[in-house]
Structure formats: C-alpha cells, structure tokens
Amino acid sequence: MGIVRSHIIDSLFVAPLVQPGFRVADIGSGAGFPGLPLAIACEATLSLIEANRKKANFLREVVRRARLSNVEVIEERAEHLATTRAEAYQLVVSRALWRVPQFLRASQPLLRSGGLAVAMKGPRGSEEAGCRWPSFSEPEVMPYQLKGNVRRMLLVYRKIDPRAVR
C-alpha cells in the first residue's frame, strides 16, 4: 500500500492541471513518477525525461509492457533539450528532483508561453515558494495531504509571454 499512497496517489495530484491533448514532460522521471500515472489517468502525451541509462531502460520496458502508446522515453538531460524540444510542452513537472531555480531554468525553454511548470514538493516546499524566476509568474501554492498526515505541495508557475512583460 505504501507505493500506491506514496507514489501513485501523490502523482495523481497533478492530474487536474493536465488538460486533454496536453504534451507533458516529466523531468528526471526516475521510476516513472509522476509521469506513468499521469499517462494512464490523463488524455495527454507524456515525455519521460531521464538521463540515467539504467532508469531510462526500465521506463522503456514499463512503457512497452503496459502498452502505453502516449508515452515516449527520452534518455537525455533536460538542459540539453532546449533546441530539439523548444516550446514543445504545455506542462513540465518534476517530483522533488531539483531546487526550484534549477527546475525553472530547465523548464523555461521546453514550455510554451502560458504553460505550467509544476514542482512537486514535500513539507519544506514552502521554503522555496518565494522563489521568483524571469519569465514565470509567482507560484500558486497548492498544498495537499496524503493518508497518514503526509503533507505535500505543488508549486505551480505559469510561463509568461515575454512580449506581455514589457
């Protein structure tokens, strides 16, 4: 039950932000959270971005065995995708991988204008909620709680059109 609560249900708190037809990037996908549950639950196309070859191979095998036709695995560092995947996504998510500034720096070139950068954080996420980054709105802080009084939060940043900032 721990995996279901700690990983799958936790991942699904992002689902209300995923609109049908969205292209979503899960940066640092690791074992596939939150990307795989989102791919199953949402009508979206998911890119699982994972630089570690062993983890990327695991993700490919899960995608193949589960017959997830709406998922691709990209074995690359997110920072290196700026030219090949520029503005390809409406939503970029990462689960406790980086501090917010590094996450926003990696997300910025991948997101379309108006797209969402969603940082999944634990209870200390409120310490990072004050982080500001050029081309992004102030974060919407969305706290939630898992069974067992486990506190989590989503920090949701919207990419601002640079022409609107002038």
Q: In the structure, what pLDDT confidence band is assigned to residue 162 with cuts at 50, 70 and 90?
A: low
Q: What is the mean pLDDT of residues 46-59?
A: 98
For residue 103, pLDDT beyond 80: yes
Nearest-angstrom CA–CA distance, 131 and 144: 20
- Tokens for 123? 């209870």
For residue 5, pLDDT beyond 70: no
Q: In the structure, what pLDDT confidence band is assigned to residue 83 with cuts at 50, 70 and 90?
A: confident
Nearest-angstrom CA–CA distance, 75 and 55: 9
Q: Indicate the length of the chain as a whole number.
A: 166
Nearest-angstrom CA–CA distance, 42 and 32: 15
* Structure confidence at residue 133 (pLDDT): 86
* Structure confidence at residue 148 (pLDDT): 87
Nearest-angstrom CA–CA distance, 63 and 17: 22
For residue 44, pLDDT beyond 60: yes
* Structure confidence at residue 53 (pLDDT): 98
Query: What are the domain boundaries of the chain?
Result: 2-165
The model's pLDDT over 6-15, given as tens digits with 9 standing for 90+, comes to: 789 999 999 9
Q: What is the mean pLDDT of residues 93-107?
A: 91
Fold of 2-165: Rossmann fold (3.40.50)
